[in-house]
Structure 1
Amino acid sequence: MPEFCTAERDGRLLIVTMNRPDVMNSLHPPANHELAQVFDDFAADPDLWVAIITGAGDRAFSAGNDLKFQAGGGKMSVPDSGFAGLTSRHNLVKPVIAAVNGVAMGGGFEIALATDIIVASENAVFALPEPLVGLAALAGGLHRLPRQIPLKQAMGMILTGRRVSAKEGKELGFVNEVVPQGQALDAAKRWAGEILKCSPLSIRASKESVMGGLDIANLHDAIKAPFASVSTLLKSEDLIEGPKAFAEKRAPNWKGR
């Protein structure tokens, strides 16, 4: 069993909790490697279709890299899939939701930016403060943030390390929904429930097409680009089940194949 995180199955949903509340869920190498294994298992499990990542307690989602561990001489290492096993996991076609229940600083913000949907409690705070301690947001923050909000707004955050509230995060566009304190996980489950009503193969084809298409400057080329998840969808039983269920006025029975 993991020591620094938990992974709870709820039907087709996996709820992953970073579990180091005494250090505001900051992550050191053992925690990063545990989370990488959890998301490896999630990616490979055909019975799991959506994941939520959150932090233990009500103070922090994640304060990022465990600087005290590093300052104490601990050797820093990150798995190939990146910080929390997510920030360099570029081939995950299943959706991941961040339930940000407090501070999301540095690597913690980078984890949230690596997900597909961010739900934040009113007490959530976001920042990339690495330059203030002689570092840089190299786990994707410097590249994801300017792709998710206007460039000047992203540079304003990146070059100052300033803190942004959940409300401002929604106004800037990187937060999908702000909810009262203590309700981030429930709201994330609601979003997951809406996703789970859809064909999982349609969701994966959609995510892969969006993310892969962002790498292609020409719109025509992006539309015509071959994506593996699209090919899987077009050959699936679910492609037949969806229209059939609609015609029969019933809920579809998605099989994910």
Structure 2
Amino acid sequence: MTQPKTISLAIDGPIATITLERPERRNSVNAQLTRELSAAVQACEANPQVAVTILTGSGSSFCAGMDLAAFADGETEAILHGKGRFAGFVGVRRTKPVIAAVNGPAMAGGFELVLACDMAVAADTAIFGLPEAKRGLIAGAGGVFRLANRLPIALVNEIILIGAPIDAARACALGLINRVVPAADVMATARDMAGKVAASAPMSVALGLDLARSAASGDESALWSLNDDYLNRTTGSKDAQEGARAFLEKRPPAWRGE
């Protein structure tokens, strides 16, 4: 039986829109979504008509991160370590910008998807957070070091160690997103930004984007190496399995430190 698509891709002139299509699971990432998102991003990169892409979610959530049921079912390798890393997206080397249109909560890996984008528009009701430590995991899709490249370390530690979400207004004040608008205006605002990007010279956009990323990221290859080591240690731990089970069973986890 054919599985329903977890991604939709629409192209309107120079603007592509990729929508996460698992609203019943708050657009959480499983292996199928990872494969389909990777293919959609590559299709946009290869299409000479496309100048800029908008990434958004269907329903009331942007993305809840990794699907912990899929994690418990053994899809970890495909979700985290395939082409493009988490969701087939956060580690992709792109030449064209992606704008996140954050229509609702962007938690855990969902926040990391936003941090991997080049600009972001968020609904005033959106929230952002990295609660992985509460699940026995680490924000290993680039979230920790991308936050550390943008924020003072005390704020980074608050976000990754306590795991409490921040609202869109604070995320914007911290420089993590570009615009906060009413929920009904998210896509229109993202399309307006995308249209302005598309009006610029393609080579200038690609080279400027690459230079800005290089300046902001430092030695990203070394950071990914350390990130992967810590990610593998947590995803393979007994605490990670306990964290996923506790979340699915709606109970407090019993940590063992191993």
- Settle same-fold status: TM greater than 0.5: yes
Shift of 1:70: 2.4
Tell me whether 42-51 or 104-113 shows the greater mean CA deviation.
42-51
Matches within 5 A, 1:115-134: 115-134=117-136
1:75 matched to 2:75? The reply is yes
User: Matched residue of 1:51: which SS?
Assistant: strand
SS at structure 2 position matched to 1:9: strand
> Could you say if the C-alpha distance between residues 189 and 20 of structure 1 is closer, same or farther in structure 2, counting changes exceeding 3 Å?
same
- Where 2:9 maps in the other structure, the secondary structure is strand
Distance 1:12 1:195 in 2: 10
Q: TM-score, normalised by structure 2?
A: 0.79
CA positional deviation for 1:74: 4.0
Distance 1:160 1:168 in 2: 16
1:74-113 maps to which residues of 2 (within 5 A)? 74-76=74-76, 77-78=78-79, 79-89=82-92, 91-113=93-115
**1:106-255 equivalence runs, <5 A:** 106-214=108-216
- Listed one character per residue, the Cα deviations across residues 71-124 of structure 1 (whole Å, up to 9, x for unaligned) are 3x24221322122322111x2121100000101000000000000001000110
- Provide structure 2 residue ranges, at least 5 long, that are not aligned to the other structure: 220-258
CA shift digits 1:168-215 (9 cap, x unpaired): 101111011000022211111011011112111111110011112345
The reply on whether 1:66 has 2:57 as its aligned counterpart is no
Partner of 2:231: none
Does the 8 Å contact 1:103/1:125 carry over to 2?
A: yes
In structure 2, C-alpha distance between the alignment counterparts of 1:188 and 1:118, rounded to whole Å: 8
The answer to whether 1:42 aligns with 2:51 is no
Task: Kindly indicate whether the alpha-carbon contact (under 8 Å) linking 1:2 and 1:34 is maintained by their aligned counterparts in 2.
Answer: no
Query: In 2, Cα distance between the equivalents of 1:194 and 1:214?
Result: 23
Cα deviation digits, residues 226-250 of structure 1 (max 9, x gap): xxxxxxxxxxxxxxxxxxxxxxxxx
The answer (yes or no) to whether the contact 1:52–1:188 under 8 Å persists in 2 is yes
The aligned residue for residue 225 of structure 2 is: none
* Shift, 1:2, TM fit: 7.4
Q: Which moved more, 1:117-126 or 1:80-89?
A: 80-89
Distance 1:191 1:149 in 2: 24
**Match for 1:83: what amino acid?**
F
Indicate the structure whose relative CO is greater, using CA pairs within 8 Å and at least 6 residues apart: 2
Counterpart secondary structure, 1:182: helix
What is the percent sequence identity of the aligned residues?
36
Equivalent AA in structure 2 for residue 88 of structure 1? G
TM-score (norm. length: structure 1): 0.80
User: Could you say which structure has the higher helix fraction?
Assistant: 2
Cα distance change, pair 215–163 in 1 and its aligned pair in 2 (3 A): closer
Secondary structure of the residue that 1:61 maps to in structure 2?
coil
Instruction: Quote the Cα distance in structure 1 between the aligned partners of 2:139 and 2:216.
Output: 21
CA distance in 2, matches of 1:186, 1:149: 29
Task: Call closer, same or farther: CA 1:215–1:183 in 2, change over 3 Å.
Answer: closer
CA separation of 1:2/1:185 partners in 2, compared to 1, >3 Å: closer, same or farther? farther
User: CA separation in 1, counterparts of 2:17 and 2:145?
Assistant: 26
